[in-house]
Amino acid sequence: MRKVIAHSRRTGGAGPAPGGGPETGSGDAAFDPALALPKKRSLAIAGHRTSITLEDAFWRELKATAEEQGRTVAALVAEIDAARGPAGLSAAIRVYLLGKKARAVASPPEAY
């Protein structure tokens, strides 16, 4: 497989061509570059407003997770914030969501 290299606008260096996506070797990578774009949103957590920047894919997963748990995004983020320790909030959210997905893959629900 040939990898196409394009000039990166951000760093001035080389990088994958726009829309090229990561190579997986299978040729069927489902990568939507729009989901990688960061979005900043404001939430009220523990009585104060804070801005969080996450890629759109993480915002979608965060919203879906909150809905699955029957609570608001702000309530879920407040729980993550309280448990995050020294990590940045955006990073803690990403790690939380990744861990949730990993646990779901490791132990899928039993069929009835």
What is the H or E stretch that residue 56 is in?
Answer: helix 56-68
pLDDT at position 108 is 73
pLDDT at position 11 is 47
Q: For the full predicted model, state whether its pTM sits above 0.95.
A: no
Cross-strand pairs, 112: none
pLDDT at position 15 is 47
Mean pLDDT (10-residue bins), the chain, 112 residues: 45 48 51 91 93 96 97 96 94 96 83 65
Cα 112 to its chain centre, rounded Å, is 31
Domains and CATH numbers, the chain: 1-31 (no CATH), 35-106 (1.10.3990.20)
Q: Helix/strand/coil (H, E, C) string of 73-106?
A: HHHHHHHHHHHCCCCCHHHHHHHHHHHHHHHHHH
Chain position carrying tokens 């489902």: 30
